[in-house]
Amino acid sequence: MTHETSSSVGAFSIRPLQPRDWERVRGIYAAGMATGIATFETVVPSAEELDQKWIPEQRWVATSPSGLVLGWAALSPTSSRSCYRGVVETSVYVAPESTGRGVGRALVDHQVRAAVDAGFWTLQSSIFAENHASLALHRSAGFREVGIRERIAQRDGVWHDTVLIEFRANTP
């Protein structure tokens, strides 16, 4: 499944993540990490660790016409229990130079469609309360706030609240 789109700044397409993308994906992850409000991680996981964590058929990259990865999205299982097989955690990161171009929205929209098509019924994420751009992006894509997890964890010695959000597929 690929998706082509254009924004007011330029065109980009969305395709499955390929082995050649790992270095750039990890670099975009590092840039998000450097903001201090994108993840509690402080060291970029290796490609091997991410490969083990992310669902293989649910990894996407947005690329420029020249093939440069502008952002990525991936899903991870939330539990090994079979009753939660349809519940996944979302991750979406956009390169700093690509923000404001519609890349994040296109990735989230693509991720939701692909996940629902694959039979997942709940997509969820915990977003730092200070990460207003990510919260707005997810809300605009149909995610709803479930609750606030106060002082859930520390990053660099600072306690942070996270906003638990979810997208629910139309399930019977």
Cα-Cα-Cα-Cα dihedral sign, residues 14, 108, 36, 33: negative
pLDDT given at position 1? 58
Coil vs helix vs strand at 89: strand
Give the model confidence (pLDDT) of 39-74 as tens digits. Answer: 999 999 999 999 999 999 999 999 999 999 999 999
Q: Indicate the average pLDDT of the chain.
A: 93
Predicted confidence (pLDDT) at residue 137 exceeds the cutoff of 70: yes
pLDDT given at position 11? 87
Percent of the chain, pLDDT > 70? 93
What lies within 8 Å, CB to CB, of 124 at 6+ separation is: 78, 87, 88, 89, 90, 146, 164, 165, 166, 167
Q: Phi and psi of 140, rounded to 5°?
A: -65, -20
Averaged over 106-110, what is the pLDDT?
A: 96
- The predicted model scores a pTM of 0.92
